[in-house]
Chains A and B, each alone.
Chain A
Amino acid sequence: MIHVIKPGLLTTIQDLGRIGFAHFGLSPAGAADSLSFRIANLLLGNKSNTPAFEITLLGPTLEFETAALIAISGSRTSASLPINEPFPVAAGTRVTTGSLVDGARAYLAIRGGLTIPRVMNSCSTYLRAGIGGLEGRALRAGDQIASGKQTAGPTCRLEPARAASLQLRHGPMRVTAGLQYDWFGQEAVQRFQQQAFTVRDDSNRSGLRLQGEPVLPAQNRELLTEGVALGAVQIPADGQPIILFVDQQTTGGYPKIANVVAADLWRVGQLRPRDEVRFSFVKIPEAIELLRLQEQALRTAFAP
């Protein structure tokens, strides 16, 4: 059993998300930084979709009743716990992660996973609907979570140099043209692409709210509410972009200038309030190639 001594700011149980329910108004939820989530599991020999703890900005203190093998990936922790390598925890040990120092999220995975009932094919906590994870909510002090008994393969560690190249967060966020890209004139597109936006404090798993020089469509037009893709960059009336994220609404009525490429979505999950974000447009074939290369690098890193 794992006992929650301190819950941290927003610690939830996540997997790779709840797929196939968008027509009921459910976004996928799931790990905000799915790359680091997968790495944390792969280090332990877990299947990459094994439920793990998602830590947000300030981490929890967890007490392990029995010995466990755990791994952390994503942001580094102020407690200087090992990152990107499995480490043993003796029975009765308290693990305090402290605050996250270079990103918004870290994943703490346990060899064998966690025993969490699947709701609509997923263990992901979906706060908006109050489902998944632990009673559809963030962890609280006093919670108990049973570790899992899933079979796991051999463990491994990720060389720092390899981790650095795999989890490289420098450079602009790559985006493809959004559905209403043409509504924005050349000036607005340039303004969108040439400035550094700041991540606002009221950002969360539903959306990253950005602040900067307003980006406005060439003319005022009404958009009929339509489906929105994960990572859509929508522009509300005030011209301040919002990146729609894992807990987003499934439909929306604001024009979308851009869409974050799939290969960079994990980076959105690492954005902290007051971080700077720049965007750079790429074509779809390039976006697909970035994703292919990322997957290849991940496979190579964990090849037996």
Chain B
Amino acid sequence: MWITPASDSSLFFGFGNEISLDAHRRVIALFHAIQQLHDARIRNLHPAYASLLIDFDPFRLTHEELESIVAPLLSRPLPPSPELAPALEIPVCYDGDFAPDLTSVARHTSLTAEQVIALHSGGDYFVYFLGFSPGFAYLGGVPRPLHVPRLASPRKLVSAGAVGLAGGQTGIYPHDSPGGWQLIGRTPLGMFVPSDDPPSRLQPGDRVRFRRITRDEFDRLASEQGSLDDSRH
């Protein structure tokens, strides 16, 4: 691994140059350990596939001091692998207009649409990190056959809750936004609710499983979710 300043107020911890579970476990272990310090001099943590960027208050901390704070955390034994953590269940409806790219994903993978759904909802995923937009989780662990390219031209508008595939990843769009991932379903759950603590349903290092639901169940959960949102206001 390597440690290097990224700016006058941030320090970068690199654990590898490729996406790997091993590197990611180290990232998450360090991320959690630093969170537990509750050190107000550390302002922001940016975990990614194989690195952690730490943004700090340059009036109260130097790169050297931060490195000496973090060094003992790096030598700690790694916590259990993510396969052992309990999985969060995300209900997904793979029907009709929720899955505009299901047919093309099936064609690309030489599978039937049913097989694509079975594969996608059959395995466990883990949250590499959140980025792109608030609450957007990059999930790894996509079965090989479901590795599909991004859309040649991104959609101008992807609906909140849309579940997409790109490369070896799957993810859920938390807001209406542009997006280039191939969409195969939609969840009725709100993925990012600013008034919640934490505001994001998924956190770096979480394990996730998708549960296939019908359109009826989607509508029911969506309306429950809606009344829940209303009760918050």
Contacts and interface: CB of A to CB of B under 8 A. Distances in A.
Contact of A20 (B7, B43, B131): B43
Given A224-B18, A230-B55, A291-B58, A23 B5 contact: no
Contacts of B194: 119-120, 129, 131
Contacts of A250: 46, 130-131
Interface string B44-72: 11111111110100110011000000000
Interface string A83-122: 0000000000000000000000000000000000001100
Interface in B123-138: 129-136, 138
Q: How many A residues touch the partner, as a band?
A: 35 or more
A262 B6 CA distance: 12
Nearest to B42: A20
A228 to B, nearest CB: 7
A23 B203 contact: yes
Interface stretch (B8-16, B78-86, B88-96, B113-121): B8-16
A232 interface: yes
Given A25-B134, A25-B135, A284 B8 contact: yes
B147 to A, nearest CB: 16
Contacts of A249: 131-133
A176 B7 contact: yes
A23 B62 CA distance: 22
Contacts of A224: 17-19, 48-51
A226 B14 CA distance: 9
Contacts of B179: none
Nearest to B9: A262
B7 A23 contact: no
Interface string B1-43: 0001111111010100111000000000001000000000001
With most chain A CB atoms within 10 A of its CB, the pick from B8, B9, B43, B50 is: B8
Interface of B: 4-10, 12, 14, 17-19, 31, 43-53, 55, 58-59, 62-63, 129-136, 138, 175, 192, 194-195, 198-200, 203-204
14 contacts: A20-B43, A23-B44, A23-B47, A120-B199, A131-B194, A179-B6, A226-B12, A228-B6, A228-B46, A229-B6, A229-B10, A249-B131, A251-B46, A284-B63
Given A131-B194, A227-B48, A287-B8, 20 more contacts: A22-B44, A23-B31, A23-B130, A24-B192, A119-B195, A126-B134, A128-B134, A129-B134, A130-B175, A179-B12, A226-B53, A227-B51, A232-B6, A250-B130, A251-B46, A261-B7, A261-B8, A284-B63, A291-B59, A292-B59
